[in-house]
Structure 1
Amino acid sequence: MAPPPIHILGLGSIGTFIAHSLRSLPTRPPVTLLLHRPGLYDQLVARQGNLRLQIGESGPSAEQGGFDVELLGQQESTPIQCLIVTVKASATLAALQSIHHRLNRQSTVCLLQNGLGQIEQLNAQLFPHPDTRPTYISGIMRLGVYLRAPFDAVLAGMTGSVTVGIVGGHGAARSAESSESASTRYLLDRLTESPILSCTEAPWTELFQAQLLKLSANCIINPLTALLDVRNGALLHNLEVLPLQRQLLHEVSQVFQRLPALQSHPDAQQQFSSASLEASLVSVIQQTASNSSSMREDLHKGRATEIEFINGWVVQQGEKLGVDCSANRLLRQLIRAKRSSAGPEG
């Protein structure tokens, strides 16, 4: 039996990198690229469907082809067994609306995005019935990838990695103990098979804690660099912003330590203490000092931000758990206001 095609939704830097990496495997799986803009579709067809990846700023580059390409909105009804989603968290729901009828219990949806809360949103609005919703894989990207031009990605260095795992528990999908579908194992095996992805599989609880740790840094770095219009490293040298950072981390710590999913893991109390989160934050800022955060870039380019899935998620959880998250709520409101003052999204 022929292997199922792996569909990729979102051909930005991460989507292009993932697609190229999968087609670079010794046994190349079929990969279908899903595009929502006719202009982008025409550009890809004009280059014979080839994607390019360059290793390093001045390193070697290689093209990969053999992709199938679909323009969304063409009334396609073929079921999708394996789907990788790399669009922004804020665009996930809209992106999946046109293809959710092609996803079912035998499908696996892999989300490689920033933030938390996307799965709950998808379940509430697209897949309300647990018996028919897909299995979810979630992932953390620790890679420096950017687009030089459409379908032309640059991997800045070889020290990054990817961690993925089957989502389970706290109402997200099926339990982690349930038997995985054939599409889930197939997709996980392809992702972890790629040397350049440096992808490993982790148990859900371990992955969830890693996601929370990344989210805690994003709650400070993303909105503050966007509002101050500075690169990440500037946050280390601005003493005026330090009290606000600590208040934000205090709220985040209180929320994380009360999450029901972590109550059976006593080590989580220490891991997510304010002091531990601050040490982790400083380390992340130092490692990414020259970077411009995604939220800052989104505001520069007039795009919707992921604030609802970063600070917004903390605020929502705080409301459920009885934690006052006034500082995170204020930052969410300020980012909303700054985004609104920029005018309609282009």
Structure 2
Amino acid sequence: MKETRRGFEAEVVRGLLQSSLTSVENDSANEEDLPDRTGTEAQEYSLQTGAKEQTGSVPRDLAWKSGDISAVSVPTSEESLPMAAASHQQGDKISPEEDTSEPGEPSTPETEINAWFAQAEQEADKAQHKEKGMQASGQIHIPDAQEEIIYHLIISVKAPQTVRAIQAVAHRLTQDSSILFLQNGMGMVDEVNERLFPDRKYRPTYMFGVVSHGLYSKGPFSVVHAGEGTIALGVLPRTSMGENIQVEALSQLSPSARYLMRTMTRTAVFVAVGFSPTDILQQQFDKLAVNCIINPLTAVLDCKNGALLYNFYFSRVVRLLLAEISLVIKSLPELKNVPNVNMRFDTLRLERMVFTIANTTAENYSSMVQDIRSGRLTEIDYINGYIVKRGEEMGIHCVMNYMLMHIVKGKNKYSSQEKADLLPFAGQRG
């Protein structure tokens, strides 16, 4: 409050200086015209000027800025000199002799007022910088007394709905919370950080899960467990996963992350196993490569997974797509120093993995086929779209994945319009 008041007083002093200079010029001009006035006019003029000096009136624009303040007085030389002396004792750099007058120039009330004004401005600037420095600690939102903090949150919605789902409860998440992502695709965490938790210091702990269980939905709140599988769990370190990835021991994690990891791995039906950040990242890319092939191709063809088997023409398309996917994954900076990355994400190994899973789930429809049939938004931007995005960052043009991504988007839009009866039929008049 002191800095704000001094800044306000500095503004008032500046206005007074300008108004005083203007009044001096007007008075000098009026004094030159005074001999030409008659005796009665000169007497009335002197009475008016004397009344103004006694009342100390403030200009109209200055009174409008001052609000409820009725009158403001300019500090005299006796009032400003102690303030300048105090600034020397506190170590400030501003003084009347240094900033407002040249060496050897005699001190005047005007120079002292300028010095006082400069000091007030400097103190106001210091207060603003102090305010900016304290804003970082105020970025985190503390839940109200009626709302409880969410320490464990599991996200299992479609990738495009991730931000909206977390946004509804983001004010109840703190740096002590943990979020487990059980989803297809990659890149959702980047959107969550950008839109919901931009400050790394106050972000929750992120956990990833790679699910191989067979599931499908029969309707709202109805899920069928079609095939048993496993869940691979891992914790994303708070530091960026660059060239040197430090494996966080379970004892070094936050209490909420340790509890969630322990609960998931001890629940027998989940068949969950914990992995290091590097291992869980590689498993995510394994599943991403499979989803980049089976999901979009079956969605475009509107067929079961087994339709991709024993077809030479489909095999050629799969190899072209995997050549781009393999090149992008092996070039990622977060996997730069990981051993055997080139062998693990080789095109032939990825091809064998794709056809093995397609054979195992031959009678199933992929989730992308079901999304297009239902007119829902697909996850193509977080599957093939993620490969295209990361490739562009490293200067790799993924033409095949880019084309397939837009074919799926086009079919998704076509199906949605057809379901909404927006497509005109032949011979129909609008």
Same-fold call, TM > 0.5?
yes
Q: TM-score range by the shorter chain?
A: 0.7 to 0.9
Answer 1 or 2: which has greater helix percent.
2
1:327 lines up with 2:400 in the alignment: yes
- In structure 2, C-alpha distance between the alignment counterparts of 1:294 and 1:149, rounded to whole Å: 14
List per-residue Cα deviations over 1:203-240 (Å, max 9, x = no partner): 11111111101110110100000001110110113322
How far residue 241 of structure 1 moved from its aligned partner, in angstroms, is: 2.2
CA 1:169–1:331 in 2, change beyond 3 Å: closer, same or farther? Answer: farther
Q: CA RMSD in A?
A: 2.2
List per-residue Cα deviations over 1:82-139 (Å, max 9, x = no partner): 0001001111011111111111100100000001101111001111000001100000
How many equivalent pairs are there? Answer: 271
List per-residue Cα deviations over 1:48-85 (Å, max 9, x = no partner): xxxxxxxxxxxxxxxxxxxxxxxxxxxx7422110001
CA 1:89–1:170 in 2, change beyond 3 Å: closer, same or farther? Answer: farther
Partner of 1:160: 229
1:66-215 maps to which residues of 2 (within 5 A)? 77-157=147-227, 159-168=228-237, 171=240, 176-177=247-248, 179-215=252-288
Aligned-partner residue type, residue 167 of structure 2: Q
Aligned-partner residue type, residue 276 of structure 2: P
Partner of 1:281: 354
After TM superposition, the score normalised by the length of structure 2 is 0.60
Segments of 5+ residues of structure 1 without an aligned counterpart are 1-75
CA 1:89–1:172 in 2, change beyond 3 Å: closer, same or farther? Answer: farther
Partner of 1:314: 387
Q: Residue 114 of structure 1 aligns to a residue in which SS? A: coil
**Quick check: 1:192–1:199 contact (8 Å CA) kept in 2?**
yes
Answer 1 or 2: which has greater strand percent.
1
Aligned-partner residue type, residue 231 of structure 2: V
1:189-268 maps to which residues of 2 (within 5 A)? 189-268=262-341
- In structure 1, C-alpha distance between the alignment counterparts of 2:255 and 2:174, rounded to whole Å: 13
- In structure 1, C-alpha distance between the alignment counterparts of 2:239 and 2:392, rounded to whole Å: 16
How far residue 284 of structure 1 moved from its aligned partner, in angstroms, is: 1.1
- In structure 2, C-alpha distance between the alignment counterparts of 1:279 and 1:300, rounded to whole Å: 29
Percent sequence identity over matched residues? 37
- In structure 2, C-alpha distance between the alignment counterparts of 1:147 and 1:262, rounded to whole Å: 35
Moved over 4 A (4+): 172-176
How far residue 176 of structure 1 moved from its aligned partner, in angstroms, is: 4.7
Q: Residue 342 of structure 1 aligns to a residue in which SS? A: helix
After TM superposition, the score normalised by the length of structure 1 is 0.74
Q: Residue 131 of structure 1 aligns to a residue in which SS? A: helix
How far residue 148 of structure 1 moved from its aligned partner, in angstroms, is: 4.2
- In structure 1, C-alpha distance between the alignment counterparts of 2:305 and 2:297, rounded to whole Å: 9
- In structure 1, C-alpha distance between the alignment counterparts of 2:240 and 2:147, rounded to whole Å: 28
Q: Residue 202 of structure 2 aligns to a residue in which SS? A: coil
Task: Single out whichever of 92-101 and 141-150 deviates more from structure 2.
Answer: 141-150
How far residue 170 of structure 1 moved from its aligned partner, in angstroms, is: 7.6
**Quick check: 1:169–1:175 contact (8 Å CA) kept in 2?**
no
List per-residue Cα deviations over 1:255-294 (Å, max 9, x = no partner): 0110111111230101101111111111111111111000
